[in-house]
Amino acid sequence: MSLDKDTVRKIANLARLEVRDDELNHLAGELSNILQFVEQLAEVNTDGVAPMTSVAHMELPRRADEVTDGGYPDKVLANAPERNDGFFLVPKVVE
Amino acid sequence: MSYVIQGETGDWELVIGLEVHAQITSKSKLFSGSATDFGAEPNTQVSLVDAAMPGMLPVINEHCIEQAVRTGLGLKAKINLTSVFARKNYFYADLPQGYQISQYEYPVVGEGEVILDMPDGSTRTVGIERLHMEQDAGKSLHDQHPSKSFIDLNRSGVALMEIVSKPDMRSPEEAAAYVTKLRSILRYLGTCDGNMAEGSMRCDVNVSVRKAGEPYRTRAEIKNVNSIRFVSQAIDYEARRQIDVYEEGGEVVQETRLFDAAKGETRSMRSKEHAHDYRYFPDPDLLPLNLTQDYVEAIKAGLPELPDEKKARFIGDYQLSPYDAGLLVAEQATADFFETVAKGRDPKLACNWVMGDFAAAMNRLGRTIEDPPVSAANLGGLIDLIADNTISGRIAKEVFELMVETGKAPADIVAEKGLKQVTDTGAIESSIDAVLAANADKVAEYRGGKDKLFGFFVGQVMKATAGKANPAMLNDILKKKLS
C-alpha cells in the first residue's frame, strides 16, 4: 500500500501536525515504506489464531472505588500558559 | 394507530434512535482515584491521569465494571465476557489526552431491551444495541471571556455508560417514554442517579423520516439534549424540518445538530472541513477486560426487583390498573411509600390517596417522596379512619390538610377538632327534622317534583352538622323522610 500526498495531508491535519506542501512527497514515500515493511506480516497464515493483545501474561489490573487522588489544582494548573480562578484559559473554542 | 406527520406529499413516519450517556454512580473516576462529586471548585477533582500528564497510566475502577454489568443485566442484555478498551481520537480543549478511552468493536454489553409504558397503559419494546463504558471529557465555559474559553477538568475521566438503542422508536412520545423508563431502571439499579439537570444523563437523538414501507433515509443526530421534554421537542422540530427539506425537493444531509431550547429549534453545528475520523484502535495501556460467568451470575443474584416486575406484582397483588401501577413504580421510593400505606388496607384507596391528595400536596410544597409532607404511617392511619367509618371521605380531605400543616397523627386531629363522623341515627334524624322544618316551602316544592332540591337538603344538614354526618346514612334517612 502506498500513500498519496492528499492522504498524508489529511493524516497530518488529524494529528494537528503542520506539514509544508514541499514536505508531503517525501513523507508520503517514508510512510509508504513503513506500511510496506509491516505488510510483510500479511504473508503469514494466521487462520484460526487468536489475536495477541499483549505480551504481558496478566489480567487487567483493577483498583477499588476509593478517592485516593486529586485535590491539587495548583499542580494540575502548574504548566498552564494561562489560568484564571482555577480554570485553564484557552483560545476561544465554540462549535 | 401509528404516529405520522402529515406533509404536503402525504404521511411521513418517524424513525428515532437514542444514545444515552449515563454517568456511572461511583466515588472515583473510571481510570483514576480522583473524586466525582458534582459542583466542586474547578480542577480540584483532577489527578495527573485525568490531566493527561505524560507517563500517567489508567487503572480501571472495579466498581464501574460491576455497575456496567449490573446495568446490562437490568436491560436483559447479553454480557460480553471479553471486552476491549479503544482510543477514540479527536482534539478538543477539554479533552487533554487527545483521545477518549471508550469501547468500540467489543463493548461490555450487547443486545437487550427496554419495555416502554405508554400513557394509554399499553407497552412497547425498544431494542438495545449495546452498552459500553467510556470516559467523560472536561467542561468548557465559553461565556466567561470575549476571546478565551475556560476549562474545568473535574468531569474529565468520570465513568460513563453509553447506552445505544436500536432505531425502534416512531414518535416523540415513545422517545420520551424510553428515556423515562431507562432512567427509572438505572435509578432502581443504583448505577446512575439519572439527574439530567446536573448532566448525569444526556441524550443524543438520531432522527430520520420516511414514507410508509420505505427503507431508512438519511438521519441527523441532535447532540446533548438534557431533558425529557426537550427530547420530544427536538424530535418534533427536526422531523418537520426534514419533511420540509424533502418536500421542497432537497436532500437531508447526515450531520450533527444542536437543540436550542430557548428557540425550540435544531441548528446545524458548523460543518467541519473534514468529517470526523476517530481512528479507533485498542488502547495499548489497557489489557482486554475479562469477566467470568460466575462474576456475572453473582451480580445477577443481587439485582433488585425492577420496575417491570414490580408493576406486574402491583397489578397482580393489589388489583391496580396498569396505568396506576406504572406511575407508582416509576420511582422506587414512591413504590415503597405506596406499599407501606397499602399494607393491610384497601390498595385502590391507598393508590388514590398517594397519587391524589398526597402527590398534590408534595408538588405544592416542593417536597419529595424522601421528605414527604405526611408520613406513610400517618397516611395509612387516615385511610384506617375512613375504612372504620370514623370520618367520611370528605372530612378526610380536611384532616389530611391539617396533617400536612401540623404533622400530627390523623386520630389526634380528629379527636382535637371533634371531626368524628356522626353515625348516631337519632342525631342525624333530628338535624334533618330541623332543616326540613325550617324549609317547609322547599319541602313542598320537592314533593311537587323538584328532585334537584335533594342536594340542597343534604347541604343544609351537612352545614348543621359541620360536615360530620355520615353521608350514606344521611342520604338514606333523608330519602325516607321526604318520601
DSSP code string of B392-411: -HHHHHHHHHHHHHH---HH
Tell me the count of A-B CB pairs closer than 8 A: 138
Classified as helix, coil or strand, B7 is strand
How would you label B18-43 residue by residue, b for 16+ Cβ within 10 Å and e otherwise? bbbbbbbbbbbbbbbbbbbeeebebb
- Cα–Cα distance, B71 to A20 (Å, whole number): 50
For the record, the C-alpha cell of A9 comes out as: 495531508
The contacts of residue A17 (CB under 8 Å, 6+ apart) are none
Which among A87, A89, A90, A94 is the top mutation candidate for probing chain B, defined by the most B β-carbons within 10 Å of its own β-carbon?
A: A87
Q: What is the DSSP string of B116-169?
A: EE-TTS-EEEEEEEEEEEEE---EEE-SSSSSEEEEE-TTTT-EEEEEEE-S-B
- Cβ distance A60 to B287 less than 8 Å, yes or no, reads yes
Residue type, B147: S
What mean pLDDT do residues A18-44 have? 94
Q: How many CB atoms lie within 10 A of CB A22?
A: 7
Contacts of B191 in chain A (CB under 8 A): none
Contacts of B47 in chain A (CB under 8 A): 69-70
Mean pLDDT of successive 10-residue stretches along chain B, which has 483 residues: 87 97 98 96 98 96 98 98 96 94 98 93 94 97 93 98 98 96 97 95 97 94 94 97 96 92 87 70 95 98 97 96 93 96 95 95 94 95 90 88 93 85 79 86 86 87 82 84 81
For the record, the C-alpha cell of B217 comes out as: 433515509
Contacts of A76 in chain B (CB under 8 A): 43, 46, 48, 51, 153
Closest CA to B205 of B229, B180, B175: B175
- To the nearest whole Å, the CA of A84 is away from the closest chain B CA by 8
* Residue of chain A nearest B46, judged by CA positions: A70
Q: How far is CA B231 from the centre of its chain?
A: 13
Q: How far is CA B304 from the centre of its chain?
A: 18
Contacts of B153 in chain A (CB under 8 A): 76, 88
- Cα–Cα distance, B303 to B50 (Å, whole number): 32
* Residue of chain A nearest B289, judged by CA positions: A60
**CA-derived radius of gyration, chain A:** 22
- Alpha carbon separation from B291 to B65, B85, B162, B333 (Å, rounded): 9, 14, 19, 32
Q: What is the DSSP string of B20-46?
A: EEEE---SB-SSSS-B--TTPPTTSS-
Would you say the C-alpha torsion B267, B273, B276, B278 has a positive or negative sign? negative
Q: Is-contact B403 B412, C-beta < 8 A? A: no
Minimal Cβ distance to A88: which of B49, B151, B277 = B151
Per-residue model confidence (pLDDT) at position B273: 46
Closest CA to B131 of B81, B80, B175, B170: B80
Closest CA to B79 of B290, B256, B227: B290
Contacts of B64 in chain A (CB under 8 A): 65
- To the nearest whole Å, the CA of B279 is away from the closest chain A CA by 9
Contacts of B45 in chain A (CB under 8 A): 70-71
- Cα–Cα distance, B144 to B474 (Å, whole number): 70
Q: Is the pTM of this model over 0.95?
A: no
Q: Please, which residues bridge with residue B13 across strands?
A: B210
Instruction: Write out the E strands in B158-316.
Output: 159-165, 201-210, 220-225, 256-260, 265-268, 281-282, 289-290
- Cβ distance A85 to B42 less than 8 Å, yes or no, reads yes
Q: Is-contact B113 B75, C-beta < 8 A? A: yes
- Cβ distance B84 to A53 less than 8 Å, yes or no, reads yes
- To the nearest whole Å, the CA of A15 is away from the closest chain B CA by 8
- To the nearest whole Å, the CA of A26 is away from the closest chain B CA by 23
Q: What is the DSSP string of B345-393?
A: S-HHHHHHHIIIIIHHHHHHHT-BTTB-SS-HHHHHHHHHHHHTTSS-H
Complex ipTM: 0.89
The contacts of residue A13 (CB under 8 Å, 6+ apart) are B274
- Cβ distance A62 to B62 less than 8 Å, yes or no, reads yes
Minimal Cβ distance to A65: which of B28, B149, B277 = B28
Per-residue model confidence (pLDDT) at position B276: 72
The Cα angle at residue B81 between residues B76 and B85, in degrees rounded to 5: 105
The contacts of residue B229 (CB under 8 Å, 6+ apart) are B176
* Structural domains of chain B in order of their starting residue, each with its CATH number: 5-299 (no CATH), 305-417 (no CATH), 425-482 (1.10.10.410)
- Cβ distance B59 to A58 less than 8 Å, yes or no, reads no
Q: Please, which residues bridge with residue B163 across strands?
A: B20, B131
- Confidence tier at A71 by pLDDT (50, 70, 90): very high
Q: How many CB atoms lie within 10 A of CB B151?
A: 26
Per-residue model confidence (pLDDT) at position A34: 95
Per-residue model confidence (pLDDT) at position B129: 98
